[in-house]
Structure 1
Amino acid sequence: MEFYISDTHFFHTDLLGDNDFAPRLFENTAAMDAAMVNAWNARVDDNDVVYHLGDIAMNPENVPTNQQIFDQIKQLNGRIVFIKGNHDYRALFKFLQQNDPGWHGQPRYQFFDVGTIVKDSHTQLFLTHYPLLMGIVNQTLNLHGHIHHSSVPVAENINVGVDAPERDLLSESLPWGSPLTAAEIFEIYAAKKAALAKNR
């Protein structure tokens, strides 16, 4: 199975607390990081693939080392495809590549600087960190992160970040930090499309 997530921001102390940008109601980053690892591993097993759409880790006050970030990532189940976010950097990707533990005879980690495209249910999913302005599209969605607790007012733009308000459109709430399935993406799309049409 394939999953989608963005903006984990492991170690990021500035996001803690009740705020408009990225509300993370944890006392410390250790609790926040553990919640994301637990939510991830509760859904994802070793045969699954997770697309991480950028901003793996960050802390401007106490910058985590590549080794610390790797130690965090290696707790996560499944194969991970990383799309570079504005807080990610090539040296980290190189470090992860050099320390790749492998996955069923192939690399566990894969990397894209800008984005990639996958298909699911006859729909193209453009996977990027930054939201795209795609214009008129048919059977095409842009899954993105970057804007945390904000939403692009276009149904085809789906924020898959851990703080995304689109997650509230799901019929069943998920534990905070859970990667999303394609079925949940399509449920969000339908609900967002209906809500935007109603508000016109």
Structure 2
Amino acid sequence: MQYFTSDTHFFHDQLVGVNDFSNRNFIDAADMDEVIVQNWNEKVKPNDTVYHLGDIAMLHTKPSKLADERIFEILSRLNGHLILIKGNHDSRELFKYLDRHNFLIDGQPKFEFHDVGVLIKMNHRQYYLTHYPMMLGIVKQIINVHGHLHRYTVPIKENINVGPDSGDLDYLKTAVPFGAPLSSTELEEIVTQKGIDFAKRR
């Protein structure tokens, strides 16, 4: 199965709490990280594919190699093959470190890397997966799946924010546990319901 998420911000103590960016009601980042790992692994199987659309972690430990090691350790605990799209808080140095320490799961690499985005086809639509929201204009059957905005959403029905803080998650009938990636079915539900909502606004 395919899953989608963004903006996990592992280790990011400053993001914990209720603020303009998030509603992360945890004791600290360590508490948040463990909840994300648990909720992720209860949903995602080892052979599933997860598209992570950037801002994996925020950790400024020096030397940076120590930060890369800790991020590698927590990503290694997550089920699935991780397709990582670079966010504004993700360094190329981190991606190089992950690539050097990449390992195989059933013959496939744990990590795959993309600087800008990935285009996939699913259920007769094209999904352009990016970190930053893209303003594509009026295009039929193309959906921009993104992160970056945290609690904010783009007021365009073709833009879907899949971060754990996203207001677009409100379109789901059943709430997603914090940090659990969205399934392709849940993503389709958001696309459909957001489209219905925006049609009513005309």
Interval containing the TM-score (normalised by the shorter chain)? over 0.9
Aligned partner (choices 146, 149, 154) of residue 147 of structure 1: 149
Provide TM-score, normalisation by structure 1.
0.96
Provide TM-score, normalisation by structure 2.
0.95
- Paired with 1:76 and 1:40, the residues of 2 have a C-alpha distance of 7
1:81 aligns with 83
- The one-letter amino acid of 2:125's match is T
Deviations 1:12-46 (A, max 9, x none): 01111111211210011111001110111011111
Asked whether the 8 Å contact 2:95–2:113 carries over to 1, the reply is yes
Aligned partner (choices 188, 192, 195) of residue 194 of structure 2: 192
Change (3 A) 1:61 1:91: closer
Q: Give 1:60 shift.
A: 5.4
- The one-letter amino acid of 1:40's match is W
1:49 aligns with 49
- The one-letter amino acid of 2:121's match is K
Q: Give 1:66 shift.
A: 0.3
Deviations 1:40-63 (A, max 9, x none): 101111110000000000045887
Q: Secondary structure at the match of 1:54?
A: coil
**Larger deviation, residues 183-192 vs 141-150:** 183-192
- Paired with 1:160 and 1:174, the residues of 2 have a C-alpha distance of 11
- Paired with 1:189 and 1:154, the residues of 2 have a C-alpha distance of 11
1:15 aligns with 15
Q: Which runs of 5+ in 2 are unaligned?
A: none
Asked whether the 8 Å contact 2:61–2:67 carries over to 1, the reply is no
Q: Give 1:73 shift.
A: 0.5
Aligned runs of 1:94-173 on 2, under 5 Å? Answer: 94-173=96-175
Q: Secondary structure at the match of 1:65?
A: helix
- Paired with 2:99 and 2:105, the residues of 1 have a C-alpha distance of 12
CA RMSD of aligned residues (A): 1.4
- The one-letter amino acid of 1:116's match is V
Q: Which runs of 5+ in 1 are unaligned?
A: none
**Larger deviation, residues 104-113 vs 63-72:** 63-72
Asked whether the 8 Å contact 2:57–2:71 carries over to 1, the reply is yes
2:200 matches 1:174 = no
- Paired with 1:59 and 1:155, the residues of 2 have a C-alpha distance of 34
- Paired with 1:61 and 1:73, the residues of 2 have a C-alpha distance of 17
